[in-house]
């Protein structure tokens, strides 16, 4: 398969449903716990995407999105939609438990920090370096916004993603055990990882894996 891709910033207009499809394929268990039923949840996410909060991989020679990395910066993440939007879409009675589940997934970026929202590559294109290209692009986005740090969370049931992050210079800073989420969302612990952005103290340098790839 030809896995050559072009990395772009921003979700192209018209690609919202495709981006949500990739997110849902990767994180459906988590998202579905909050935004069920799936068709409605996907439609909600597509309607409330913040286009400028992602880097995407487009299959070369076409405009099909084969990978997406969403992030939160300055109070906005790729997946948007506030309390009012949830209540409007689901009503009060069905909306409140959804808001509670969404709150469990919510992360807030501190000043000078970019928080990864999620990274997902089309299953048919995994293992070909697209995830790495997207991580490199996100590091460039962070540097461009003057961020000193990138933060992400990875769940205990995803050791391969964690290994990928470690190869990109992310180091685990803490692990929170979440046994109460195992039945609902499928994982029992969340590890937070940090990496310093090149150009900031402790960032660029010969030992930095991202720097070596450029």
Ligand X SMILES: CC(C)(COP(=O)(O)OP(=O)(O)OC[C@H]1O[C@@H](n2cnc3c(N)ncnc32)[C@H](O)[C@@H]1OP(=O)(O)O)[C@@H](O)C(=O)NCCC(=O)NCCS
Q: Which residues bind ligand X (CB under 6 A)?
A: 26, 119-121, 126-132, 154, 158, 160-161, 163-164
Q: Least Å distance between CB 123 and ligand X?
A: 7
H-assigned helices in 127-181: 130-144, 159-167
Rounded Cα distance, 70 and 53, in Å? 6
Minimum separation from the CB atom of position 163 to ligand X (A): 4
In sequence order, which residues have a C-beta less than 8 Å from that of residue 69 and are 6 or more positions away?
A: 54, 55, 56, 116, 117, 118, 119, 120, 134, 135, 137, 138
| Cα-based torsion angle of the residue sequence 167, 23, 9, 153 in order, rounded to the nearest 10 degrees | -40
Closer residue to ligand X in complex, CB, 164/204: 164
CB of residue 46 to ligand X, shortest distance in Å = 18
Candidates 79, 25, 19, 28; CA nearest to 186 is: 28
CB of 121 to ligand X, least distance (A): 4
For ligand X, give the closer residue by CB, 12 or 129: 129
Report the alpha-carbon distance of residue 67 to residue 123 in Å, rounded.
9
3-state SS record for 118-142 = EEEECHHHCCCCHHHHHHHHHHHHH
Residue closer to ligand X, measured from CB, 29 or 47: 29
Identify which of residues 120 and 150 has a Cβ nearer to ligand X in the complex.
Answer: 120
Q: Which is nearer to ligand X, 148 or 213 (CB)?
A: 213
Q: How far is the CB of 127 from ligand X (least distance, A)?
A: 4
């Amino acid at each position: 398969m030809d896995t050559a891709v072009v990395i772009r910033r921003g979700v192209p207009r018209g690609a919202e449903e495709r981006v949500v499809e990739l997110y849902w394929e990767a994180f459906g268990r988590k998202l579905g716990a909050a935004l069920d039923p799936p068709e409605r949840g996907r439609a909600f996410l597509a309607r409330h995407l913040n286009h400028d909060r992602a880097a995407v991989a487009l299959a070369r020679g076409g405009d099909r999105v084969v990978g997406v990395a969403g992030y939160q910066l300055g109070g906005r993440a790729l997946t948007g939609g506030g309390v009012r939007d949830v209540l409007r879409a689901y009503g009060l009675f069905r909306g409140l438990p959804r808001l509670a589940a969404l709150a469990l997934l919510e992360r807030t970026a501190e000043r000078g920090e970019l928080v990864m929202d999620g990274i997902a590559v089309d299953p048919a294109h995994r293992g070909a370096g697209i995830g790495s290209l997207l991580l490199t692009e996100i590091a460039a986005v962070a540097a461009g916004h003057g961020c000193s740090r990138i933060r992400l969370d990875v769940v205990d049931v995803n050791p391969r993603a964690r290994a990928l992050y470690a190869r990109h210079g992310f180091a685990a800073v803490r692990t929170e055990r979440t046994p109460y989420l195992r039945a609902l969302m499928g994982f029992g612990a969340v590890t937070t990882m940090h990496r310093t952005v090149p150009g900031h103290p402790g960032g660029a340098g010969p030992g930095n894996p991202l720097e070596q790839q450029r």
